A and B are shown apart, each in its own frame.
Chain A
Amino acid sequence: MNSFAAELESLRPQLMKYAQLQLRNSAWAEDAVSETLLAALEKPQSFAGRSQLKSWLIGILKHKLVDQVRRNSREMSMTAEDGEDLDESLFRPDGHWREPPQDWGNPEQTLAQVDFMRVLEACVDQLPGQQGRLFMMREWLELDTDEVCKLLSISPTNLWVMLHRARLRLRECLQLNWFSAP
């Protein structure tokens, strides 16, 4: 195995992590990563030190993930957990906060920490399946509403409800595991 192939192989686990976060299915994730590595091995000249190897691969992976979403969209549906609304637990019947949101301090200080990124990834991983996929499509693949809705055959309203829930869950998870962690 030449060194380029060895380097690709060493990045496979990281590609798998993001593929799994997006697809929530290890067989599909394996396929997306294999297709990514294959594309890289077939066209090593298009890399040519243009940028970091990892960011080049992530760029290819993002396209392959969209392909996988398109191919398997029928099997990507809501679970019971996706349907749960957090409003009851967040607000009193009169619409006031049950627990006031806390001050999260200086964003720059928080976001500069690698550990925060790890907690963030763990929190995204804990989202219910469909919420996780939609959140990833929006935030990580940076697809717009139209693209996401077309890929999964859902309405914008449906997408927004799911993204609301995902962001509220993420907020809870960050509060619990970062901002109030000992």
Chain B
Amino acid sequence: MKLKRTCREVTHLALQALEQPLPLSDRVAVRLHLWICKYCVAFTRQLKLMEKAGERWRRYCEE
């Protein structure tokens, strides 16, 4: 199990997690990376905002 991942890998895993649950080993690796990398923490927050934005958008277009 490879625990050390780059920002590029973590970015793709974070995107993948929006589509399907990640394997446990990947979840652990992502958590470890986020523990030490504030850039990827910022990225995952941006993704969360975009996810919420999709929800809000679907409501907005019906108003």
Is this pair of chains taken from one and the same complex?
yes
When distances are taken between beta carbons in the complex, the residues of chain A under 8 Å from B16 are 160, 164
Flag if A95 contacts B42 (CB, 8 Å): no
Residues of B near any A CB (own CB < 8 A): 6-9, 11-12, 15-16, 18-20, 39-40, 42-43, 45-50, 52-54, 56-58, 60-63
Q: How far is the CB of A147 from chain B (nearest CB, A)?
A: 13
Residue of B nearest to A95 (CB): B6
Residues of A near any B CB (own CB < 8 A): 14, 18, 52, 54-55, 58, 87, 90-91, 94-97, 100-104, 107, 110-111, 114, 116-117, 120-121, 139-140, 142, 145, 159-160, 163-164, 167-168, 170-171, 174
Q: How far is the CB of A50 from chain B (nearest CB, A)?
A: 13
Q: Can you list 19 A-B contacts (CB < 8 A)? A: A14-B61, A52-B63, A54-B63, A58-B62, A91-B8, A96-B8, A100-B39, A101-B40, A101-B46, A107-B48, A111-B49, A111-B53, A116-B53, A117-B60, A139-B54, A142-B58, A163-B18, A168-B15, A171-B46
Flag if B50 contacts A95 (CB, 8 Å): no
Flag if B50 contacts A18 (CB, 8 Å): no
In Å, the complex CA distance between A69 and B25 comes to 37
Looking at chain A's contact residues, the main secondary structure is helix
When distances are taken between beta carbons in the complex, the residues of chain A under 8 Å from B57 are 117, 120-121, 139-140
Flag if A120 contacts B61 (CB, 8 Å): no
When distances are taken between beta carbons in the complex, the residues of chain A under 8 Å from B43 are 101
In Å, the complex CA distance between A14 and B63 comes to 11
Flag if A95 contacts B9 (CB, 8 Å): yes
Partner pick for B42 among A58, A103, A110, A116, CB 8 A cutoff:
A103
Query: A96-B6, A140-B58, A160-B16 known; A101 and B63 CB under 8 Å?
Result: no
Residue of B nearest to A117 (CB): B60
